[in-house]
């Protein structure tokens, strides 16, 4: 964007200034690119099991000790050692195969 603006302004500027404007626009674009790449490296998207750990889920069928929960719009088999009733909110602690290991939270529903 800065380079485009610099080129347009350079069309109306006299000889030495149009070169300075374009060079400045290129400099701003390089700084933006380096900054954007560093930012993108820091914020890696999480997928798979690591994205689910720590999230909340709602119990659909009683977990005494196994049942089903709805997490991120999907129905999962779950195991809760202390047990959880329908409508309770549980936190996902780990994933064992296709079974979520959950613990109860103090919240009721979502």
Quick: pLDDT tens for 43-86: 877 777 778 899 999 999 999 999 999 998 999 999 999 999 99
Question: Do residue 59 and residue 37 come from a single domain?
Answer: no
Residues of the domain holding 62: 49-108
The whole-chain average pLDDT of the chain stands at 91
List Cβ neighbours of 18 (8 Å cut-off, separation of 6 or more).
Answer: 9, 10, 11
Per DSSP, the three-state class of 17 is: helix
Rounded distance between C-alpha atoms, residue 75 and residue 61, angstroms: 10
pLDDT score at 109: 52
The CATH number assigned to the domain holding 98 equals 2.40.50.140
Question: Do residue 78 and residue 30 come from a single domain?
Answer: no
* pTM of the shown model: 0.58
Question: Do residue 90 and residue 54 come from a single domain?
Answer: yes
């Amino acid at each position: 964007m800065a380079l485009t603006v610099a080129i347009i302004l350079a069309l109306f500027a006299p000889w030495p200034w149009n070169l300075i404007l374009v060079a400045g626009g290129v400099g701003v674009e390089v700084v933006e690119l380096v900054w954007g790449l560093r930012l993108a490296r820091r914020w890696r998207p999480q997928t798979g099991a690591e994205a689910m750990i720590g999230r909340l889920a709602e119990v659909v069928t009683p977990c005494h000790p196994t049942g089903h929960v709805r997490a991120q719009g999907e129905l999962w088999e779950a195991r809760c050692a202390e047990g959880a009733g329908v409508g309770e909110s549980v936190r996902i602690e780990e994933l064992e195969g296709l079974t979520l290991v959950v613990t109860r939270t103090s919240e009721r529903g979502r």
